Structure 1
Amino acid sequence: MPKISAPTVAEHRDAQRTALIRAAEAVLLEGGLAAATPRAVTERAGLARSSFYDYFPSKDDLLVAVALRAFEQWNEEIGVELAEAAPGLERLRVFVEATLRMTADGKHGLATSLREAELTPKRREDIGALHAALFRPLEQTLAELGHSDATLWAYLAQGVLGAGVQLVEHGANHRAVADSAFQLLTRGLPA
């Protein structure tokens, strides 16, 4: 029987699984999707290659676990920042600034890598549901501003933010992009 490095087998298994997910994140950020092989991930985690399949039936399952962790962390960080902001325009500004700052910090890099993955339709749905959860705070913020169809406006605002994310990922200053995106969302294009 293998040695466990935690008080219980369940805690040991959880720690091993977490180590594989963290290793996969690092491999994805450094080398992209093609580099995230079971061998590379287990080597990075310091585990035997055969142990990969004890925790993940397939590479798809690992990639979804990485996405889940990234979405949870992103949502948690945005939630903390929004909780401290006053409802309305201040909360919208905080949402825009946090989204683009977190992108500049590299937190959107995993999503960029995972977009290239050829996942099964079911796994794509799983990730789509996670992404939808990130959409809710924006929708709630726009509802607070009195938009009668907050969902429609949130989708349009998401388009502006998506363009902002691309600009920041290509080297634009996140503060300048956040200011411009907020202006576009609240006052329209400058004259």
Structure 2
Amino acid sequence: MPRISAPTVAEHRIVQRAALLSSVKEILLSSGADAVTARSAAERAGLARSSFYEYFPSRDEAIVAVAIEAFREWGAEIEQALQEVEPAEKLGAYITTNLMMAADGKHRIASILQKIELTPERHEDIIALHDTLVGPLIQIVRELDSSRPVIDISLVRGLLNAGMQLVEQGSDADEVATRIREVLHRGMT
């Protein structure tokens, strides 16, 4: 019988799964998706290869689990930022928060996930997770009483994606956020 490293078996399983998720994420960030295998994830977590399959039926499932965790964290961070500002400042807060996540390297995992060859179902799951981060933007644009919300949302997303690329290439996140807010303020008011 394997030894458990927590007060209960349930807690032990939570710790083991978290260790595997952490190792999959580390491998994705350091070596790319091709390096993620049951063996590499388990070894990095200090577990036997067979342990990987106790928690994830496949490599794709482990990668999707990492994505789910990342998107939940990003969503919570965006939600927190939006709660702390007045309604008129929400669009700026949304933009700044996303760019700061890019500056902190949090968005890098999303860039990696977009390039991974997964089963069509799992790829759609990741796209759906990414789309949930657009929910707050949709609400903000509605609150701004936009006459063309679909177009405005697409344009904001385009500016934000361009801003994230700039930040990932070394531009200052605050400077890029300020410039995007200025462009949007002139265009939407």
Give TM-score, length-normalised by structure 1: 0.92
Residue correspondence of structure 1 range 61-72 to structure 2 within 5 A: 61-72=61-72
Q: Which letter maps to 1:154?
A: I
Given the alignment of the two structures, is residue 131 of structure 1 paired with residue 130 of structure 2, yes or no? yes
Q: Which letter maps to 1:120?
A: T
**3-state SS in 1 of match to 2:134:** helix
Q: Which residue of 1 aligns with 2:80?
A: 80
Q: Which letter maps to 2:118?
A: L
Distance (whole Å) between structure 2 residues aligned to residue 152 and residue 5 of structure 1: 53
Alpha-carbon displacement from aligned partner over 1:11-30 (angstroms, at most 9, x marks no partner): 22122111111111111111
Residue correspondence of structure 1 range 26-105 to structure 2 within 5 A: 26-88=26-88, 90-105=89-104
Do the aligned residues in 2 keep the contact of 1:60 with 1:123 (CA within 8 Å)?
Answer: yes
Q: Which residue of 2 aligns with 1:18?
A: 18
* Offset, 1:185: 1.8
Alpha-carbon displacement from aligned partner over 1:142-161 (angstroms, at most 9, x marks no partner): 11111144344222211110
Q: Which letter maps to 1:43?
A: E
* Offset, 1:32: 1.7
Given the alignment of the two structures, is residue 140 of structure 1 paired with residue 133 of structure 2, yes or no? no
Alpha-carbon displacement from aligned partner over 1:132-188 (angstroms, at most 9, x marks no partner): 110011111111111144344222211110111111111111111111111222214
Distance (whole Å) between structure 1 residues aligned to residue 128 and residue 148 of structure 2: 21
Q: Which residue of 1 aligns with 2:118?
A: 119
Give TM-score, length-normalised by structure 2: 0.93
**3-state SS in 1 of match to 2:7:** coil
* Offset, 1:8: 2.6
Do the aligned residues in 2 keep the contact of 1:140 with 1:150 (CA within 8 Å)?
Answer: no
Residue correspondence of structure 1 range 172-187 to structure 2 within 5 A: 172-187=171-186
Alpha-carbon displacement from aligned partner over 1:75-95 (angstroms, at most 9, x marks no partner): 10111111001002x111111
Structure 2: give runs of 5+ residues left out of the alignment.
none
**3-state SS in 2 of match to 1:65:** helix
* Offset, 1:113: 1.2
Distance (whole Å) between structure 1 residues aligned to residue 154 and residue 8 of structure 2: 46
Identity of aligned residues (%): 50
Q: Which residue of 1 aligns with 2:108?
A: 109
Structure 1: give runs of 5+ residues left out of the alignment.
none
Matched positions, count: 188
